[in-house]
């Protein structure tokens, strides 16, 4: 429990106090956001706001995790390190994308193929490595079983697992990226899901089959659940502190640096905590916003008509006249409900198991 408190508080303090220094540095170098001409007109006033803010909470998360280990004398685990690798790796891909935007002074960064290649390399490396590093019980950070609140009994095999993990990581990283369109929206939503995974990791640790006198259907065969809670708490605290500066009117944007990293972190936590399909409910807002884009594109290609005034969904409501703050708060409420339902299903799975 001390590890969770330390990692969360260190991450919070680092971003709360350190983000202003990053804002000044980025502003001094002229690394400001470029706004697309086809976006909502209200966004044009945000042009020049420092971007690449994801650097703040990625670094804070890494420092919080390793500082916690140093303070408590505990060793890092394979599961925790793999989630941090995925988070940082996708953050680097996003950083390259953001850097090209600000240096080339254009709203589009990396070419689509280059960005996809970078995401694919990091995602596939994570998926392959997650099947290694078995502990004394033979458990690896990930398994080749699909999971909801626990692993299902049937396995899909290592090859299909790697493909499945890649799909999850790509879907969630791009989902957070699409959600990051209004001040604080993606950051606040991510804080809620990381809070849920802090609870899930702590619960799985307390009900772990390794400590059970007799293994039951309701105990959890997860390799390093407590360390996953430590990582999730570090991410939650870091994002919470960053939200102080990212909320409307934002002093800094997370950019692709942050959105790709957060999506990767969420997918990684789901995979190694054996709650893969549950993530679709816990991260329901990201799923809804992603579906709005799929529906918009599909409808236009098949019928030539648009379902929404603009996609992603948050921009549809902007064009309907809703204020930015109103949209963000209402979407946060939706995300909070998704987390509540997801945790309810997680607990129900344990009770009925």
Those residues whose C-beta lies under 8 Å from the C-beta of residue 340, and which sit 6 or more positions away, are: none
Structure confidence by residue, pLDDT tens digits, 60-82: 999 999 999 999 999 999 999 99
Give the model's pLDDT for residue 46: 67
For 13-27, 99-113, 326-340, which range has the lowest pLDDT when averaged over its residues?
99-113
CA distance 78 to 272: 10
- pLDDT tops 70 at residue 125: yes
Structure confidence by residue, pLDDT tens digits, 199-227: 999 999 999 887 765 556 678 999 999 99
pLDDT confidence tier of residue 103, bands split at 50, 70 and 90: confident
Q: What count of other Cβ atoms lies within 10 Å of the Cβ of residue 335? A: 25
Find the helix or strand (DSSP H, E) in which 208 lies.
none
Task: Please tell me whether residue 285 adopts helix, strand or coil conformation.
Answer: helix
Structure confidence by residue, pLDDT tens digits, 152-200: 988 999 999 999 999 999 999 999 999 998 999 999 999 999 999 999 9
Give the model's pLDDT for residue 327: 97
CA distance 218 to 198: 19
Q: What's the whole-number average pLDDT of the chain?
A: 92
CA distance 76 to 92: 22
Give the model's pLDDT for residue 212: 65
Mean per-residue pLDDT, 25-40: 71
Q: What is the DSSP string of 42-109?
A: GGGGGTT-B--THHHHHHHHHHHHHHHHHHHTPPP-HHHHHHHHHHHHHHHHHHHHHHHHHHHTSS--
3-state helix, strand, coil in the chain (%, to 5): 70, 5, 30
Mean per-residue pLDDT, 104-130: 86
Structure confidence by residue, pLDDT tens digits, 283-321: 999 999 999 999 999 999 999 999 999 999 999 999 999
């Amino acid at each position: 429990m001390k590890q969770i408190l330390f990692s969360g508080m260190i991450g919070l303090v680092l971003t709360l106090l350190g983000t202003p220094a990053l804002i000044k540095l980025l502003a001094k170098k002229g690394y400001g956001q470029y706004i697309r001409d086809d976006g909502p007109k209200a966004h044009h006033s945000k042009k020049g706001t420092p971007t690449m803010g994801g650097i703040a909470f990625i670094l804070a998360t890494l420092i919080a995790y390793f500082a916690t280990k140093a303070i408590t004398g505990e060793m890092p685990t394979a599961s925790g390190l793999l989630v941090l690798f995925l988070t940082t790796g996708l953050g680097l891909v996003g950083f390259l994308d953001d850097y090209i935007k600000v240096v080339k002074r254009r709203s589009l960064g990396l070419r689509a193929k280059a960005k996809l290649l970078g995401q694919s390399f990091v995602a596939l490396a994570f998926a392959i490595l997650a099947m290694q590093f078995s502990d004394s019980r033979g458990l690896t950070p990930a398994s080749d079983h699909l999971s909801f609140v626990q692993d299902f009994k049937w396995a899909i095999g290592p090859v299909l697992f790697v493909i499945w993990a890649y799909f999850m990581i790509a879907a969630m990283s791009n989902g957070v990226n699409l959600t990051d369109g209004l001040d604080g929206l993606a950051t606040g939503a991510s804080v809620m899901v990381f809070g849920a995974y802090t609870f899930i990791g702590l619960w799985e640790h307390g009900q772990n089959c390794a400590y059970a006198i007799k293994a039951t259907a309701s105990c959890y065969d997860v390799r390093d659940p407590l360390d996953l809670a430590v990582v999730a708490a570090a991410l939650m605290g870091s994002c919470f502190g960053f939200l102080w500066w990212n909320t409307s009117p934002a002093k800094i944007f997370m950019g692709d640096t942050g959105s790709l990293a957060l999506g990767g972190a969420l997918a990684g936590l789901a995979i190694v905590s054996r709650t893969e399909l549950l993530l679709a409910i816990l991260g329901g807002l990201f799923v809804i916003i992603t579906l709005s884009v799929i529906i918009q594109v599909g409808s236009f290609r098949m019928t030539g008509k648009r379902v929404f005034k603009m996609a992603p969904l948050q921009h549809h409501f902007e064009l309907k006249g809703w204020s930015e703050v109103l949209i963000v708060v209402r979407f946060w409420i939706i995300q909070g409900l998704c987390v509540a339902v997801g945790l309810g299903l997680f607990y129900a799975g344990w009770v009925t198991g």
